[in-house]
Amino acid sequence: MTPDEFAERFNRLRSSEDRYRYLIQLGRKLEPYPEEFRDEEHLVPGCMSQVWLVTVGGSEPSEVVFRADSDAHIVKGLIAVLLMLYSGKTAEEILTTNVQGLFERLDLGQHISVNRRNGFYSMTLKMREHAAQKVAVMEEGE
């Protein structure tokens, strides 16, 4: 599903309960998180619930593939949204993606708590850090 398709489906849901339910359904479809990375080093700082994030090898040198998990159902859904935006993209695409615009388009600020919103941006920041590191490594190799 593309971010536009997701936004269209999400915005058709009128109640907060329906939107929560939809996020939870998305979270249940996440790829399994590698257990060996469920540790302190891979915890995302700034999240109220536990969120783990790791990059795994992509098919192209510039591709960044993420796996992530949380101990909170709604947060898993938010992870699914971020993976839809970022995972499988090049590092450069990740750094130029406007997640703030999607957040506003989905009106998530009205449907999730301030703590979850802060956690969403913490996850975004961490993913962008991974992408920036990938760009730096690629530039060193040139």
Distance CA 100, CA 89 (A): 18
The helix (H) or strand (E) run that includes residue 55 is strand 51-56
Burial of 24 (0-12, 13-18, 19+ CB in 10 A): middle
Note if 47 is an active site residue: yes
Catalytic residue, from 47, 78, 82, 85: name it: 47
Burial of 71 (0-12, 13-18, 19+ CB in 10 A): exposed
Give the residue numbers marked as catalytic. 47
